[in-house]
Amino acid sequence: MRRSKKDRHELLKKIIEENPFITDEDLAIQLSVSIQTIRLDRLELSIPELRERIKNVATQQLQDVKSLPVDEIIGEVIDIHFNESAISIFDVREEHTFSRNGIARGHHLFAQANSLAVAVIHDDLALTAKSNFVFIKPVRTNERVIAKAKVLPQTEDPKRRLVEINGFVENEQVFHGLFEMYHRSIEE
């Protein structure tokens, strides 16, 4: 079904509003048009490309991360609501994988999840006290891992929080982690 340009523009804006991290390729598939048409539509609507949309969201939010320097976070944090939730993106490259099979080395995926768990805790000191991490499906070279963190309700110990992290590649879960985080304020 062919849409009018106006309808396509409205739908494009709606899709990007719901998922600002969608690629031009996925937009082209959803709207049944070429990638070039999507790029021209975005240009006409003044919608920046994916990388720029990610940077805009992340730059504003990352200025307030207290628990570690932003350059020590593995992956690119694209959304953070301190002590509630966070999302990061990690693009798996050749240097992150085993040369024999192109499968991502587990420590890179764990590092993405662990650093996101630290970053979401809004405190000057946040350390991983313990973790339970399960790999569900292999991740391969050139895949994009989206990690979603959720801070769970307060534990009995006010200095500990549980952070659940789930990792996805194209909406398919690839890992699950539960991190018990120790934290304290400088004022204490």
At 96, the pLDDT band (50, 70, 90 cuts) reads very high
**pLDDT attached to residue 167:** 98
Residue 82 confidence (pLDDT) above 80:
yes
- Give the residue carrying structure tokens 């994916």: 50
Least confident of 9-23, 43-57, 126-140, 165-179: 43-57
Residue 81 confidence (pLDDT) above 60:
yes
Q: Which long-range contacts (CB under 8 A, 24 or more apart) does 43-51 make?
A: 44/9, 45/9, 45/12, 45/13, 47/12, 47/13, 47/16, 49/24, 50/21, 50/22, 50/23, 50/24
Q: What is the DSSP letter of 103?
A: B
Residue 69 confidence (pLDDT) above 90:
no
At 188, the pLDDT band (50, 70, 90 cuts) reads very low
Residue 152 confidence (pLDDT) above 90:
yes
At 128, the pLDDT band (50, 70, 90 cuts) reads very high
Domains and CATH numbers, the chain: 5-47 (1.10.10.10), 67-184 (3.10.129.10)
Q: Contact at 8 Å (CB) between 78 and 57?
A: yes
Residue 58 confidence (pLDDT) above 80:
no
Tokens encoding 14? 């709606």
Q: Which of 8, 145, 127, 24 is nearest to 90 (CA)?
A: 145
Above pLDDT 90, what percent of the chain? Answer: 61
Q: How far is the CA of 141 from the CAs of 7, 40, 69, 88, 123, in angstroms?
A: 37, 30, 27, 18, 34
**pLDDT attached to residue 173:** 98
Q: Contact at 8 Å (CB) between 74 and 89?
A: no
- The C-alpha atoms of residue 107 and residue 96 are separated, in whole angstroms, by 9
Q: Of residues 89 and 54, which shows the higher confidence score?
A: 89
**pLDDT attached to residue 186:** 42
Residue 67 confidence (pLDDT) above 90:
no
Q: Which of 97, 118, 93 is nearest to 107 (CA)?
A: 97
